[in-house]
Structure 1
Amino acid sequence: MTSRQRSRSSQTTAVNPGVNGSASGGAKSTSPSTTAGPGGTGGAGGRKRVLVVGAGAAGMSCADGLARHPDKFDVTIIDAMGYCGGQAFSIPIDENRYGSKWMNQGVQGGSYIYQHTFHHFGKLGFEAKPVDLQVSFGKGDKFWTNLFPTQLVAKHSSDIKRFETAIRWMRRLQVLFALVPIKVSLKLWGLSEDLALFLGTGNATPDLPTAMMERLYTSPTYGMWYPVDPKSLSSNLPPMVVFPESTDFYTKWQKSLEERNVKVRLNTELTTVITRKPTVRVLLRPRRETEDKHNPNLADQDLPETEEEFDEIVFCVLADTAKRVLGKQARGTEKWVLGNTTWSDDVTVTHSDIDYIKKWYTIEFDKEQAVSKLGERDETARVQKGEKEFKPMYLIKETPKDPRKLEMCFDCSAFQYQLDKDKPLEDHVFQTIYLNKKHEDTWSKDEIKKDKIIREDWWHQLCHTWKHYAFVVPFVWALNRNSKNTTYAAAWTLVNAHEVAIISGQAAAYKLGADYPQELYHNDFARKSFKAYLFLMHGLTLSEQRTS
């Protein structure tokens, strides 16, 4: 979903399935560092030289925080791609057909609670637009939606009632249930783990910690499906936001950083960390920019590497990318924590094949499946609303070969505000997401007509299993509390969301000595979110004296 963004490595993107990043190698130049001054506080003007690796949300946020103190930091941010934004970028489309000349790819939007993201949007004159999310799951007698009740909901009324009771107890006993996989918790209540698939968060959903499912239904702030409906499971329309044009935003953010003397070096890949103490010495390789700026992996190894020196390094890249470039320089803790992250390679096909969509998804009101009563509760008003307003944005199907595996899809024309949702369905843009190349035999990707495909993108995606919250998240602080001039910031440190990436970058800057923005400090929700992340991932507390 929008809140479940795909982790595209902003350092070395998995453009090809099964590839985790560019390999090291090639010629090496031993020319002196191109950065000014010696290490420590001996940089130009006594400033600390900081290398930020990755120009996605985390890297840009970190560089932005450091750039507010030009007297303290000499900042360089690099990325192997030819653009800033990482997984958040826009693509050109046919304006006459679709109603807009652009659409967002990868990161389309998120939750209304993304206060740090909105802060950076606002600084550059951008704004996210609100939308109430409509979901469509399955087809025929397997069809369910949050807009109106269906035969499937009526059929499973007893399970839904039991689920509502289970959720209440999971909330009361959250300490016990926190890391228990959802599939185990549901079995304890005599419920099928297939019920977890209704959450629509992907194939790994049954292995997610129960705490995540519980919060979806019980938290007024974070709960996408709050409050749980004892008759219909999920009957609200989650308030979401749709992001402005990503490429435009990140390009202006890049220019803003450059105006504040941040060195933004795109088409530059970190291949090796030589040493990190007493200073950080690395090998960097230039990349040849491709037409769409999405430079392929395992390319340009004929270009020479250059050794450069910095005082601090901030890894704003995927965990396995950081582990790879550290190589033998990785400490035991780093090898363990970074190595415990789990990934899958997914592909998004952007297309306009309405025949494919109609075959596999329910995208129009299905009168035969709608029910006007759930027990004694009259649902006529919801059914009438569905008949008039059903335009689902997020579509989910179970794969025929293995119903426990999901395929997900966005009707981008219904979701992204700049597109025309009133166009005929054949003029809508869809993004169908095929999960985990290991399960490629369950995909129906080849059924999409080739002449309807606009673009394909592969993503190297974090799997949010219970193991991630048992063996990775609790120990990120150990990575950041070190004496090797190294800091980690990225969404993988907690949960894959644009807001988490932004907060992580801000926290990395704070750790290195930057202030927290006063505007955000006086935003209660933003401050509390940042304080929690800062303490959990860095073991630090936020001080009002360090705001500006």
Structure 2
Amino acid sequence: MASVKPVRVCIVGAGASGMSAAYALSRHPDRYQVTVFDKAPLTGGMATSIDIDADKYGAAYINDGVQGCSPVFANTLCMFRMLGFEATEVGMQISFGKGDDFWTNVYPTSLVAQFKGDIAKFGRALTTIKTFEPVFALMPVHAMLKLFRFSDDFGEKMVYPLVALFFGTGNQTPYVSCAILERVFKDPSMKLFEYDEKSLLASIPTMLAFPKLHDVYQAWQSEISSRGNVTFKLSHEVLDVVSRSSKQGRPVHIKYKVCDGDLETGPQLDNFDELILAVDADSALKLLGKDASWMERKILGSVKYLYDVTITHNDLQYMQKYYETAYDPCHNAPLSDSMPSSEREDTERAFEFASNNFRPLYYTMQYQQDKSKIEMSFDLTHYQAQFRGEKPAGPIKPTDTSGHRNECRPVPDITRVAQDAEKGRVGEPARTGKDAQGRPEPPLDRHVFQTIFLDRDNSQNLWTWKDIDPSKKICEKWWKQQSHRWQHYARVVPWMMWINGKHRTHYAGAWSLLNMHELAVTSGFAAAYRLGAEYPFHGDEDCERLFRLYLAASHGVRMRKEDRKGVLA
């Protein structure tokens, strides 16, 4: 009996979604022969790391573009743990606004007291949105605020900064679907914060800072390649999907070229059985060209992208000019004589805690000319654990094999190096300050900050980027970011199932639902699953919950009969 030829799969894109698809398919070396194309020389897409001066800043690198995630992002965390990497817990302290417009999740401020009624009403609004989610999915945040009769100031000073924090939407914030806002408070697979009826945000949530992403993705590539059925063609740009409908041979024909530094070849052709486009919607549509169906053109063409720039810098004066970087008791919420004694004691304790421990890692600032438009910044020194001596692999123990940790054998060389505790000592002489727990870290004037200027085409005239001292710039990088405007949930998300799997093509990428690293990973697993691969974390309920949701939303299918338990699985 003749052996069945492996299915040849072309994956375009080696970011989180493309790598996830490649990983799932690599686990079946007898069934799939996979080629991964990416015009970049390294895997990772937006998940990159850049080198910095360890003697000056107290660490040898920063993660750039993607910083971390919520603890509920189970697929991302399990994948990293399998490779021998662990994210580090960090308290998500936020500093919203400046001066009279300042508020935070660390202690109650005067602004929080001012909006006490609106904050209580916001919880009731979230419950209503959850009950009638299909309707509210098509309603932008600004319309929801008017519907529930929230004050304009509450929307501009509290809700818009929150939405920008959740999604990085910045200056498209008023147009985000309010149903997605409800999800990040209520959905167990997506939620980032707990709602509090008195302060809006409940205390300081635990977030996770990623290990060194360059090393994670190099280890991931090594693990995928080790099975022998996946070839990475990095610095290879796919130019065109020539055809997906040939009746003879392999039906998917692509055209590509090599673009390695100064080396650039002429176009070359190859053919495959199946295609996974793990790139943004604009790029997918461009690659399909005339071969795109009417529905593909309609759906992919409805994804709106914005162009932002991040400036990584060490300009403390800039940060102090535009943000509240230190605790100032003048912002404390007033203590009323009518306040219950227990509430008064809790408030006073919050003030005392803030006086010793206020160390924001995330900032937002509204432009005075238009308060619906926002600038965002990170204090990467507060956020990323390498500035406190953590090794590139994070706090994983090489001997621990619980919870998907260190499952890949043999361990990739880059993982072994990243797990070396000595790597955490790099930059130690510059760590002359102390964090709230007394651990050494660089003093504030040596912190590394990253400021994000949003929506070039509509907001560049408001940007304050020229105020950053050029001598204190470390890196400047442009990004193409998806907009989460309400139209996305009317014209794209509900219709993805009608193009996924058609014409031997599957789409993978967070843009297909919501721009989060976790959804990028899940989308790649889903594309591979539709081609017949196993879901890598089958049986892990924390991981599978979102995977089932994504399969239903973006592919219109359930898990295969043999993989599900119960009627609703």
Per the alignment, residue 463 of structure 2 pairs with 443
- The one-letter code matched in structure 1 to 2:495 is F
Q: Does 1:370 align with 2:338?
A: no
Question: Does structure 1 conserve the Cα–Cα contact (< 8 Å) formed by 2:73 and 2:189?
Answer: no
Contact 2:38/2:235, CA 8 A, preserved across alignment: yes
* Aligned-partner Cα distance in 1 for 2:478–2:534: 37
Aligned: 1:156 with 2:111: no
**Match for residue 319 of structure 2?**
357
**Secondary structure of 2:200's aligned partner:** coil
Contact 1:515-1:546 within 8 A present in 2 as well: no
1:257-314: CA deviation from partner (whole Å, max 9, x where unpaired): 2222211010000111110123111110111238xxxxxxxxx7x6311011111111
**2:505 corresponds to:** 486
Aligned equivalent of 1:474: 494
**Equivalent pair of 1:320/1:338 in contact (CA under 8 Å):** yes
Give the Cα separation in 2 of the matches to 1:224 and 1:536: 21
Aligned-pair CA distance for 1:219 = 4.4
Secondary structure at the counterpart of residue 100 of structure 1: coil
The answer for the alignment partner of 2:124 in structure 1 is 165
Deviation, structure 1 residue 158 = 2.6
Q: What letter corresponds to residue 128 of structure 2 in structure 1?
A: W
> Out of 520, 528, 543, which is 2:560 matched to?
543
Aligned with residue 289 of structure 1, among 261, 264, 268: 261
Pick aligned residue for 2:12 from 40, 53, 59? 53
User: Is 1:509 paired with 2:509?
Assistant: no
**How far apart, in 1, do the equivalents of 2:100 and 2:357 lie?**
21
Q: CA deviation at 1:200?
A: 4.4
* Aligned ranges 1:74-473 → 2 under 5 Å: 74-191=33-150, 192=152, 193-194=155-156, 195-201=158-164, 202-219=170-187, 222-226=190-194, 228-261=195-228, 262-278=230-246, 279-289=251-261, 303-371=265-333, 373=335, 376=339, 377-378=343-344, 379-420=347-388, 422-438=441-457, 439-473=459-493
Give yes or no for contact 1:196–1:205 (8 Å, CA) kept in 2: no
Report the 3-state secondary structure (helix = DSSP H, G, I; strand = E; otherwise coil) of the residue aligned with 2:479: strand
What amino acid sits opposite 1:182 in the alignment? V
Where does structure 1 lack aligned partners over 5 or more consecutive residues? 1-41, 291-299
How many percent of aligned residue pairs carry the same amino acid? 37
Residue in structure 2 matched with residue 526 of structure 1 by the alignment: 543
Which has a greater percent of helix?
2
TM-score with structure 2 setting the length = 0.83
Match of residue 293 from structure 1:
none
Measured against aligned partners, the alpha-carbon deviations of 1:46-100 in whole angstroms (never above 9, x if no partner) come to: 0111110000000000011111111111110010001000000111112122221
Q: 1:221 to 1:486 in 2, by over 3 A?
A: closer
C-alpha displacement at 1:417, in angstroms? 1.1
Q: Which stretch of structure 1 is more off in the superposition, 400-409 or 433-442?
A: 400-409
Distance in 2 (alpha carbons) for counterparts of 1:393 and 1:85: 24
Amino acid at match of 2:216: F
Q: Tell me, yes or no, if the aligned pair for 1:200 and 1:396 is still in contact at 8 Å.
A: no
Structure 1 pair 506–216 and aligned structure 2 pair: CA distance change class (3 A): closer
What is the RMSD computed on CA atoms of the aligned residues? 1.9
TM-score (norm 1): 0.86
The answer as to whether partners of 2:309 and 2:476 remain within 8 angstroms in 1 is yes
> Is residue 407–residue 432 contact of structure 1 (8 Å, CA) maintained in 2?
yes
What secondary structure does 2:386 align onto? coil
Q: Which runs of 5+ in 2 are unaligned?
A: 165-169, 389-434, 436-440, 565-569
Is the CA contact 2:189–2:546 (under 8 Å) kept in the aligned structure 1?
Answer: no
Distance 1:313 1:219, change over 3 A: closer
> Which amino acid is 1:405 matched to?
K
Alignment-derived partner of residue 6 in structure 1: none
